[in-house]
Each structure stands twice: as C-alpha cells, then as structure tokens.
Amino acid sequence: MLVATVFDLDETLADSAATWQHVIGAVATRHGYAWTPDDWAAIQGTSTGSWSAYLAHRCVGITSEAAATACLDGMVAALGEGRFGLLPGAADLVATAAALGPVGLVSASPGRYVRAAITAFGLGRHLTTTVTGDDVRCGKPAPDPYLLAAHRLDVPPRQCVAVEDSGSGIRSAHAAGLTVLAIPNATTALDLDVLKLAAHHATDAYIAAKTLLSLIGGRRPG
C-alpha cells in the first residue's frame, strides 16, 4: 500500500530550468566559456559537486566551489526577485499529495537554494521532511537521498511514491525501492531505458495529481 509522496524540486515542481541555464551561462561567460544546450543536458539532475566541477573544468580561473557559490547566489537572487515560479498545476499537486499522506522533498541542490525555494513558493506547510544535496554523501542517481527521505518520513520506501522528471532522479528513486511517477522533461522523454524504471507516467502536474489520487487515495483518475 502506498501512503507517502516524495517530490523532486527543479522541473518537477519549479519552472526553473531557463533560469538555471541563464545563471550558469552567465557565470561561464564571465570565465571565458560559451555555455551550450549540450552542456545543460550533460548536467541535468546531477549533484552540485558534479555540475560545478563540470562548469569549472570548462572555464578559466574559477574553482568548482566558487562556480557553485556564484550560481547559487544567482538562483537565490532570482527567487527573491520572483523571476520564476512553480510549474502549472504544481501547487495543487503538492496540496493533493499532502491531503493523502506525508510529503517529502528531495533535491540534489544545496540547502540554501532549496530552503529559499520552499519559502518563495509556500511549500513548507505541506512538507514533512526535506532532503537536500547537503544531507547525503552520495547524491542522485545513488539511492541515498530517497532512502533518507523515507527514513525521515518513517515510511518504508516501498510505500512511497517518488515524483521525478530527470533520469538521475528516476534512477535514484527506483534504486531506493520507491514507486516512481515520472513527469519527463524534454531530455528524459527521449530516454526510453530510464522511463522503463518508472511505473507510472504523466505529461504534467495535473495528470500527476490524478495519478496520485488513484495510487494513494484509491480513486480512479477521471
């Protein structure tokens, strides 16, 4: 029996991809590198340590730590300025999940950004626990983040639904033993191997909410 829901943040709930690309691209430009769509695809869903090392390797005169700090400063500033928000239907999706059972949030991003997003989007009242990239040694696609979320929810992983958009996130949740509901992003939608790991699929947050009602609430989508 499924009783809890655990959400990814970026591009599952938050409409943040364009802002992340802009912020990372601006840091790259300041350090002599032209950021490309292929670069963005290469880092999607990876840990901060991974993508900041990738960025620093292509730039001149910046460490991975400094690259991460500069990008996170930009994203926190963007949240404060309201430059991006939740995806359509995401607020109702989280509220639906909270009405059905405990809710967790699992993000590969550092706590400073995740906490700023939770505050900006008013998600805190729905969340029982939050796991960020600061909380685990091995991030997505390792199972550790989702195992920790299930532990904190005091719910066995097999009784949790993970809602994810990225390949690394889907792999992480599946490896942890959660039932995966995928809302694929443009890159994931073409990765048939990773999509096979998801037991359920939705094209957007509205369909995902109906699926959760069916999986946890026992109601037929309609």
Q: What is the DSSP string of 96-144?
A: HHHHHS-EEEE-SS-HHHHHHHHHHHT-GGG-SEEE-TTS-SS-TTSSH
Omega into 145 within 30° of 0, i.e. cis? no
- Read off the pLDDT of each residue in 105-121 and give the average, rounded to a whole number: 96
Print the SS3 string covering 138-162: CCCCCCHHHHHHHHHHCCCHHHEEE
Inform me whether the pLDDT recorded for 31 exceeds 90.
yes
> Backbone phi, then psi, for 48, in 5-degree steps?
-60, -40
Rounded distance between C-alpha atoms, residue 105 and residue 71, angstroms: 21
Give the tens place of pLDDT for each residue, 179-209. Answer: 999 999 877 877 889 999 999 999 999 999 9
Residue 190 CB contacts under 8 Å (≥ 6 apart), including other chains: none
How would residue 42 be classed by pLDDT, with cut points 50, 70 and 90? Answer: confident
Higher pLDDT, 45 or 54: 54
pLDDT at 219: 54
Q: Which of 113, 164, 106, 162 is nearest to 139 (CA)?
A: 106
Mean pLDDT of the chain: 94
Rounded distance between C-alpha atoms, residue 117 and residue 134, angstroms: 15
pLDDT at 92: 98
How would residue 19 be classed by pLDDT, with cut points 50, 70 and 90? Answer: very high
How would residue 222 be classed by pLDDT, with cut points 50, 70 and 90? Answer: very low
Cα separation values, 123 from 14, 114, 149, Å: 11, 11, 16
Rounded distance between C-alpha atoms, residue 98 and residue 23, angstroms: 32
Q: Give the alpha-carbon dihedral of 125, 115, 179, 150, to 10 degrees.
A: -80
Give the tens place of pLDDT for each residue, 71-94. Answer: 999 999 999 999 999 999 999 999
Give the tens place of pLDDT for each residue, 152-189. Answer: 999 999 999 999 999 999 999 999 999 999 999 877 87
- For residue 25, the 8-state DSSP code is H
pTM for the structure as a whole:
0.93
Q: Which of 168, 219, 220 is nearest to 194 (CA)?
A: 168
